[in-house]
Homo-oligomer: A and B are copies of this chain.
Amino acid sequence: MLRTQFEEELLNLHNQFYEMGMLVSNAIHKSVRAYVKHDKEIAREVIENDEAINNMEIRLEKKSFEMIALQQPVTTDLRMIITVMKASSDLERMGDHAVSIAKSTIRVKGETRIAEIEKEISDMSDYVKKMVDNVLVAYVKTDQDDARMIAQMDERVNEYYRDIYYQTIESMKANPETVVSGTDYLSVAQYLERIGDYVTNICEWIVYLATGKISELNTNRTEMI
């Protein structure tokens, strides 16, 4: 069966969202690798590539608005466009956080660093990257069960954050020379933690896409008290 022009455009939107997601996943991965390897070259790449991500978001937004205005889609089609409209902001912010991590890499000026904490941050980022990759697959398959499962993974991200927090505080107290690296560790871990929150948001949009219902998958997403 031939696809109508509208169906074609919808498929394009869908694919471009996925593509944007892959760029963001890559940016997160590279930014943390650059951070733990102290590789300012890769960090600069992440910063430069962010423009492509931002432009993609703007393109997706424009296209969604246009499709709503001109084609006046209803039910499932409208839902798909709305999902892209809302979830693309989440992706874009995840990309911004990758840039922030990359900037931390460039900022570091040979301060005393702590290998164990950097290892923990690296593990945390592997875990977060897995969430990001999984959520993109769940989006492509409109798989709400997977989406719910992925949202649960955020709990582990919060645990990573807590561990890194306490280790870092201890080391800063014990050795003032680790204060600058230490505050950097905390902010990198916080960016990763927040990326986990954005993944949870996207999970909620997948549930919406599948069911038409707006739900909160993880109300307890914020940091520890």
DSSP class of A's interface residues: helix, strand, loop or mixed? helix
Is there contact, CB below 8 Å, between B222 and A61? no
Q: Closest approach, in angstroms, between the C-beta of A40 and any C-beta of chain B?
A: 10
* Oligomeric state, in copies: 2
Q: Which residues of A contact B (CB under 8 A)?
A: 54, 58, 61-62, 65, 68-69, 72, 74-75, 78, 82, 85-86, 89, 96, 99-100, 103, 106-107, 168-169, 172-174, 176-177, 179-180, 182-183, 186-187, 190, 214, 216, 222-225
Q: In the complex, which of the residues B68, B86, B183 contacts A183, with contact meaning CB atoms closer than 8 Å?
A: B183
A75: B residues at CB distance < 8 A? 69
Q: Within the assembled complex, what's the spacing in Å between the Cα atoms of A169 and B111?
A: 13
A100: B residues at CB distance < 8 A? 222-223
Given A176-B172, A187-B190, A96 and B214 touching (CB < 8 A)?
no
Is there contact, CB below 8 Å, between A169 and B176? no
A72: B residues at CB distance < 8 A? 72
- List 11 additional A-B contacts (Cβ < 8 Å) besides A103-B225, A107-B224: A58-B214, A65-B82, A72-B72, A82-B85, A85-B86, A89-B89, A96-B222, A100-B222, A107-B225, A179-B179, A182-B183
Is there contact, CB below 8 Å, between B65 and A78? yes
Q: Closest approach, in angstroms, between the C-beta of A89 and any C-beta of chain B?
A: 6
Q: In the complex, which of the residues B68, B214, B222 contacts A103, with contact meaning CB atoms closer than 8 Å?
A: B222
- 13 A-B contacts, Cβ less than 8 Å apart? A54-B216, A68-B68, A68-B82, A85-B85, A86-B86, A103-B223, A107-B225, A168-B183, A172-B176, A174-B176, A179-B179, A186-B186, A186-B187
Q: Closest approach, in angstroms, between the C-beta of A217 and any C-beta of chain B?
A: 13
